Amino acid sequence: MNSSKNSATSTQTGALATLVSVFFFWGFLAASNSIFIPFCKKHFSLNQFESQLIDSAFYAAYYYGSFIVFLLSVWMNKDIINNWGLKNTIVYGLLLSVLGAALMIPAVGANSFPFILGAFFVVALGFSLQQTGANPFAILLGDPATGANRLNLGGSVNSIGTTLGPLIVAFVLFGSASAAEDATDVGKIKNLYILVGGLFALVAGFFYFSKKLPHGRSEGQFEHEEKATKALTIMTILVTVLFGAIFYRLSQSSSETSSAEPAAFDYPGLWLVVGLFVSIVAVLGLSYRSAQKNSEGWGAMRYPQLVLGMLGIFMYVGVEVAIGSNLGELLTQPEFGGLTEKDIAPYVSMYWGSLMIGRWAGSIAVFKPSKSLKTILLIVVPYLGFGFVLASNYFKDASSVSLLLPYAVCILFQIGGFFLGKDNPARTLLVFSVMAIIAMLVGLFTTQQVALFAFMSGGLFCSIMWPSIFALSIAGLGKHTGQGSAFLIMMILGGAIIPPLQGKLADLFNIHNSYWIAVACFAYLAFFAWRAKSILAAQGINYQSTSSPSGGAH
């Protein structure tokens, strides 16, 4: 009996360790796009807008994966994920990512940018299933009371992946090459995706053949509401048509070399990407207005905090990705160092590492330390995270550490934000949004290291936004909480739309001024923090603390 019990415990621990490795690769590949984008821009002679379509392919897959599962559940009148079980959902997602990694090999061989985008889409489509299953599955792998701790562990490991990803991928793509010709060998991507695909296949095999693991099925009826389904379907049709037009145009011109920067009225790509942004805002805005007049048939979307929060997640993921994905192009400008593609990795790593720093600090409250210990940890933990990022860069290029050391000053502002936020999600989101706006304005009106570090500090302020937006959005939803959570996850779509919108602004004006889009996104998040507090107060809800984990993917 004791032997069996110990074996079962070991199996759960092994499953958690394996599951956490999946969290790592989500962050690893997502953050690596910031290196891959300037690499592909140079290799395929793309403009900034076209290069940002890598993010579009990657993050649109999250939306489509979630929406397809939701639509199938509606048609079949049962929860597809619950029918499969969480374990099988993770396995199916892993196998789909293996397929995407396998497709990357012929895509690279064909030297086709549209084909590579397609492979990226399939990899991320698998990620959408993995994340749908992995977060609740982590709670099943032990005492439910400590489930939040396991999710925070996954989020922390994910952030390590976002920090190391740019450094490792930069080494794979550029190595120690000094010649520009060597740095544009797209064939180097093959080995990376052979390795990633093989690891995903091993993890899928582990979960599939581990018979002692829970399947993760629950009792309960699937609920859907006609008006909410119709609104999301209209949104999906609009997004699909506009993305289809963009990618069709790309495929038509993929063999041509981009030349001069296009003018606003001569280039349909501008209106297509603006149309994408307007479509999301318009559908959510009209849904918000309609649901307030008659809540019947809207399900979770009858709650104003949820609809405004959906747009909040859209803006948050979009700006987080856009800042990092356009950072490489910014660094190539003379006034920001004039770096080559192979020299930008330390700064990209520090940007994504900034999110890790904030998430480590944001996780302190979960362990309920005393007030005095918490004060000490809020100061020490961010600098431990900073030390980890510096150490990671040291092993790749020791000279980069001295370039990043002054960034320690920016971390002081983040620490101040935590003390001002006082673990209140609305207050924290407002404080960090205002700080982010100030940082973006400093970056826009200065140059050189001051501006660069100001833009990079956007990662510090983004770090705690996901749990704050999520907590405020689902507060008071009751039986609609699960549905509301699924709708929020769909809005990761922002990562597919806002980066190319910033890329288009960069092509029309310049990369420096394109960061005005970040100011606009953070301004909405500040508005949401203020508005959500009053909405919840009117409903008799005083949501004082954020108990939601920081999230595995963002």
Q: What is the pLDDT of residues 174-196, one digit of tens each?
A: 664 333 344 456 667 777 788 88
Say which residues have a Cβ less than 8 Å from residue 478's Cβ, sequence separation at least 6: none
- What is the maximum span of the chain, computed from C-alpha positions, in angstroms? 75
The predicted pLDDT at position 547 comes to 42
Element (H, E) at 407: none
Query: Is residue 264 predicted with pLDDT exceeding 60?
Result: no
Q: Pick 361 or 14 by higher pLDDT.
A: 361
The predicted pLDDT at position 5 comes to 43
Written as six digits, the tokens of 67 are: 């929406």
In this structure, the number of other CB atoms found within 10 A of the CB of residue 526 comes to: 19
Residue with the two structure tokens 């110990």: 6
The predicted pLDDT at position 3 comes to 40
> Residue range 526-550: average pLDDT?
76
With cut-offs at 50, 70 and 90, classify the pLDDT of residue 258: very low
pLDDT (tens digit per residue) in 293-328: 888 888 888 899 999 999 999 999 999 999 988 998
The predicted pLDDT at position 219 comes to 57
The predicted pLDDT at position 401 comes to 86
The predicted pLDDT at position 313 comes to 94
Residue 267 CB burial class (10 angstroms; 0-12, 13-18, ≥19): middle
Residue with the two structure tokens 């959902």: 89
Contact (Cβ atoms closer than 8 angstroms) between residue 200 and residue 90: no
Query: Is residue 502 predicted with pLDDT exceeding 90?
Result: yes
Separation CA 531–CA 326 (nearest Å): 30
The predicted pLDDT at position 396 comes to 73
Query: Is residue 132 predicted with pLDDT exceeding 60?
Result: yes
Query: Is residue 344 predicted with pLDDT exceeding 50?
Result: yes
Percentages helix, strand, coil for the chain, rounded to the nearest 5?
A: 80, 0, 20
The predicted pLDDT at position 314 comes to 95
In this structure, the number of other CB atoms found within 10 A of the CB of residue 88 comes to: 18
Separation CA 235–CA 68 (nearest Å): 13
Closest CA to 16 of 160, 179, 153: 153
% of residues, the chain, pLDDT over 70: 84
Kindly report the average pLDDT of the chain as a whole number. Answer: 82
Written as six digits, the tokens of 44 are: 């395929």
Contact (Cβ atoms closer than 8 angstroms) between residue 319 and residue 498: yes
Written as six digits, the tokens of 469 are: 């937006």
Closest CA to 489 of 123, 59, 30: 59
Q: What is the amino acid identity at position 193?
A: Y
Coil vs helix vs strand at 464: coil
The predicted pLDDT at position 454 comes to 95
Closest CA to 339 of 29, 52, 38: 38
Separation CA 437–CA 352 (nearest Å): 18
Structure pTM?
0.85
> Residue range 541-552: average pLDDT?
53
Say which residues have a Cβ less than 8 Å from residue 213's Cβ, sequence separation at least 6: 11, 12, 15, 87, 141, 207
The predicted pLDDT at position 181 comes to 43
Contact (Cβ atoms closer than 8 angstroms) between residue 423 and residue 544: yes
Contact (Cβ atoms closer than 8 angstroms) between residue 121 and residue 29: no
Query: Is residue 8 predicted with pLDDT exceeding 60?
Result: no
The predicted pLDDT at position 257 comes to 47
The predicted pLDDT at position 234 comes to 93
Query: Is residue 11 predicted with pLDDT exceeding 70?
Result: no
In this structure, the number of other CB atoms found within 10 A of the CB of residue 222 comes to: 17
Query: Is residue 262 predicted with pLDDT exceeding 50?
Result: no
Using alpha carbons only, how large is the chain's radius of gyration in Å? 22
Closest CA to 397 of 333, 470, 342, 435: 342
Give buried/exposed letters for 182-208 (b at 16+ CB in 10 A, else e). Answer: ebbebebbeebbeebbebbbebbebbb
Separation of CA 127 from chain center: 11
In this structure, the number of other CB atoms found within 10 A of the CB of residue 180 comes to: 11
Contact (Cβ atoms closer than 8 angstroms) between residue 440 and residue 446: no
The 3-class secondary structure across 197-234, one letter per residue, is: HHHHHHHHHHHHHCCCCCCCCCCCCCCCCHHHHHHHHH
Coil vs helix vs strand at 343: helix
The predicted pLDDT at position 266 comes to 41
Query: Is residue 12 predicted with pLDDT exceeding 80?
Result: no
Of the ranges 165-169, 433-437, 509-513, which is most confident? 433-437
Lowest mean pLDDT among 124-138, 159-173, 204-218, 378-392: 204-218
Written as six digits, the tokens of 493 are: 């779509």
pLDDT (tens digit per residue) in 395-426: 777 778 888 999 999 999 999 999 998 878 88
Give buried/exposed letters for 434-458 (b at 16+ CB in 10 A, else e). Answer: bbbbbbbbebbeeeeeebbbbbbbb
Torsion of CA 93, 99, 100, 106, to 10 degrees: 180
Query: Is residue 138 predicted with pLDDT exceeding 80?
Result: no
Written as six digits, the tokens of 85 are: 């079980």
Q: Pick 496 or 193 by higher pLDDT.
A: 496
- Phi/psi of residue 257, nearest 5 degrees: -95, 130
